[in-house]
Amino acid sequence: MAKDALTLKNEANSALKEGNISKAVELYSEAIKLDSQNAILYSNRSLAYLKLEDFGLAINDASKAIEIDPNFAKAYYRRAAAHISLFQPKDAVKDYKMAVNKAPNDVTARSKLRECEGLLKKIRFQEAIQVSDPPSALENVNIDDMDVSADYDGVELKAQMTEEFVFNMLERFQNGKKLPLKYAYSILRDIKEHYEKVPSLVDVRLKDDETLVVCGDTHGQFYDLLNIFKLHGYPSHTNKYLFNGDFVDRGSWSTEVAFTLYAFKLLYPDSIFLNRGNHETDDMNKVYGFEGECKAKYNERTFNIFSETFTALPLGTLIADTYLVLHGGLFSNDNVTLDQLRKIDRFSTKQPGQSGLMMEMLWTDPQTQPGRGVSKRGVGLQFGPDVSKKFCEANGLRAIIRSHEVRDQGYEVEHDGYCITVFSAPNYCDSTGNKGAVIKVKKDMELDFHQFEAVPHPNIRPMAYANGLLSGM
């Protein structure tokens, strides 16, 4: 017996509450086919898309709900949340104002409006005082003359990074301890200086006895990062790692993850490689928690120095002329070459913006249909299997390896093998139930996929340091 729209909606609502977001979207979509003028269905699916981080689709559904019912306050609220998720506070303020106008007694909407107006005011103030070429946050900081607090009970960080310091740091992080500011600044300074000499596309080759472990998003899930090392070994001269962006935000141990990766990079410069992700950017960090975490655990200067290290990170890694590893995906132009990627001036651009090769490398996603499509995220675009095949053949590649999206099994081989997604944050945000995965690559260039489950962590919720505007989504 065919189900009616109301039954499907109720089933979708249950799936949403249980965390089965993709199923909820499927059920809401079926209901919409039966009742295409029901604003509640579009608004509810908008919420599901928000949870999937498909912010462009969330905006479209909320807009459709408003078109059907211009007085539907919740739809304005949903659209505002999507705009905030994309760091579009001007648009969010407009929608929060409409939500309050349509539902003047809604205390939450009023609170969000005040918070969003405060954020917009702060942004405008920062824009007003910003100079064209601001000095480094490290300027006038004499790290060598800084003192280490007398209550610091860890290993001393000397001129060169040591194994003793790194493993003691990891132990201290597991016990909820922080780095002294002197050591935090020192690591960030040295990483910045290192990456300022590195090209935008890094070439990596493997010797007979070497393995490269390719990891996707880790998103501040420090205890899952330690589990990756437990399962596959710590970085060493023969056991190399490539982390493909999105080390920070959402998870509440983002500083620990970033300092761990940076410290290992300083210890073994030729054995750990880092690509920039779309969350190694100022706009995302201001919303999704990294800025707040830096201020809570260290100070504002720490965040500002981190930001400078993020702008210095390379945008992609080429493994033995065979696999291009980049965080998001491919391009709006079929004629992009690896040489063009090498020549990207990431130091002038700094932040990816809304267009250009850097933005596309960090933000785009694969789609099943041929050609290119409008981004479900609201930033970038989507590219089909024909795009992947053409790019790989033109550049002599076997495949691209990208991250940027949750996969239930931790990875997915897509586009007839020309596009591979790997995601290394299991049970993402403690809610999705996905596995994590890594890809092991050896000199023969065959790919070996390894899955793993999430491990327990201290009782601190994800997004604990995120902008309050994202709560209650």
- Looking at residue 305, its amino acid is I
CB 85 within 8 A of CB 470: yes
- Please tell me the distance from the alpha carbon of residue 45 to that of residue 35, in angstroms, as a whole number: 13
Other C-beta atoms within 10 Å of 211: how many?
17
- Bridge partners, 402 (sequence order): 421
CA-closest candidate to residue 98, choices 64, 65, 68, 72: 72
Other C-beta atoms within 10 Å of 27: how many?
26
Q: Which strands sit side by side in the sheet containing 411-414, from one edge to the other?
A: 201-204, 316-319, 323-326, 399-402, 419-422, 411-414
Written as six digits, the tokens of 99 are 């939500």
Which listed residue (83, 219, 279, 327) is catalytic? 279
- Please tell me the distance from the alpha carbon of residue 98 to that of residue 82, in angstroms, as a whole number: 15
Residues 6 or more apart whose CB falls under 8 angstroms from that of 322 comprise 397, 398, 445
Continuous H helices in 181-235:
181-195, 222-232
- Please tell me the distance from the alpha carbon of residue 117 to that of residue 244, in angstroms, as a whole number: 35
Written as six digits, the tokens of 338 are 């690896």
The backbone torsions φ and ψ at residue 341, rounded to the nearest 5 degrees and listed phi first, read -65, -35
CB 275 within 8 A of CB 314: yes
CA-closest candidate to residue 305, choices 55, 83, 113, 134: 134
- Please tell me the distance from the alpha carbon of residue 289 to that of residue 286, in angstroms, as a whole number: 6
Written as six digits, the tokens of 416 are 């007839």
- Please tell me the distance from the alpha carbon of residue 116 to that of residue 12, in angstroms, as a whole number: 30
Q: Extract the runs of DSSP E, i.e. beta strands, from 3-136.
A: none
- Please tell me the distance from the alpha carbon of residue 466 to that of residue 450, in angstroms, as a whole number: 31
Catalytic-residue membership of 457: no
- Please tell me the distance from the alpha carbon of residue 365 to that of residue 56, in angstroms, as a whole number: 13
- Bridge partners, 414 (sequence order): 419
| Cα–Cα–Cα angle for 65, 71, 74, rounded to 5 degrees | 60
| Cα–Cα–Cα angle for 324, 329, 331, rounded to 5 degrees | 105
Catalytic residue IDs: 279
